[in-house]
Structure 1
Amino acid sequence: MTPDLKPLIVGNWKMNGDRDQLDQLAILAHRISHEFQQSVDVVVCPPATLLYVAKTISEGSPLMVGAQDCHNEATGAHTGDISAEMIADCLAEFCIVGHSERRNNHRETNSHVAGKVKACWRAGLASIVCIGETKAQYDACEVDMIITKQITDSIPEGATEKDTIIAYEPFWAIGSTKIPSLKSLKEIHALIRDILVRRFGDHGLRIRILYGGSVRPENATELLSIQNVNGALVGGASLQTADFLAICQSCQSLVRNHY
């Protein structure tokens, strides 16, 4: 973790959750209000069907709300798509773009992702830009090349710490119990930081870099202790309020210990 950057924990519910889940969201908002307001930023990204209700429930608490994807156009004949402006109209503050499941399942390219980042900025949303490699690319020692190209091509010029967050998620770690070695994570996050600084100068020093991929209460402290890991993008564990809060608590403990 980087001491001078406030850490960020993001819960990505993916295609999970309905109105029954909102009781747990209310509990989360209450706990965040009383336990994490000063030390950790917390965001929940529910399905689009729950965005506005989630924001209403979290109103008055520091718990923030984000979406899981957006279209790059503001309006138009794009049946089934949701624009960044519509997300902002639901009072959300963040939007995940370029998640590996979108890149893989919907064949989204770096160019597609860059267009969505611009859409987020246009609508006043902070973009959480996901990058990461496949297992074959990891085993072939191509991580540096893949990460460099994704950052270069997926993030437009002018990115700042106010409108951009990076989430490194190795595709092969998502939904598994396997993660890169701590040594690899340290090297990869250092590489990401170096690329950001070279591209965006002082802003690159302050853009938060999250780690995602099998983040659980059991490994959160170890992962969040790594230099240039400024938080986590949490998938499955974010669906269980107790687990998600435990990850937030691990992050808060590290902050208090001056990591």
Structure 2
Amino acid sequence: MIETAGRFEEVTLMITHYNRSKSLERLLGEIKAAGCSFSAIVVADDCSTAEHLEYIKGLHQDYDFELVSGPVNKGLGNNLNKGQDAVKTPYTLYIQEDFTPLEGFRTHLENGLSLLKERADFDMVRFYAYNKYPYLKPYQFGFSEMLFKWWYPGLDKFAYYSDHPHLRRSTFFQKFGRYLEGVSGDKTEFSMMMSFLRNGGKAFFYEQHKSILDQVNSADEPSTMTRNRWRNSENFFVRQIRTVYRYVNCYTGLWFGKS
């Protein structure tokens, strides 16, 4: 229950972090400036350097949060798992450290939370995406129900789940399993995306998907996600091979993956 405006008693803010402590500070500051407070804030750190960890510890002077770290970098899946394990509230707001809230963030979060409370059959509310999801049914407050059928045209329909900022039930693992560890970040996200679809996950999507949060990668703290050249190549033949591979990979993952 939201007891006062901007106070989210049933929500924990979970932030994943790796070697971008100034970005983390900016996010915490902007969340506070937006008038939002939470039952708890968990910062899941993927074994950042000593310099960044020292800086984060200094942030405790201005912000109240729990730092969950470890001695070894075990990748995105492990970081998401240990962060979620630290959450004790019914709902989790997940944001990576390189995002910052925009005007109206608090209202959109309040609306998203009300949708999850109203619709017990829904698992998450998505606040951001690189591209608009192709199959949507308008619902309320600018949010739409995401629709998925395996026979819908195109590959973009598979991007139903995403690691981009979202609000979800903290019982997420009970329905969809834990994040895959020991693989690349892309494979971790793909694995959860397939699990979400196979297990009947349902989500709301904000249609103006870049108006709630902005992703900021500065020159001082650029993105730490790396992808191979094959994935990003614009060569015509490589793109055709990549498209065929994606079709095979997505449908195989959907129909024959482990639930």
TM-score by length of 1: 0.29
Larger Rg: 2
Q: Which has the higher helix share?
A: 1
TM-score by length of 2: 0.29
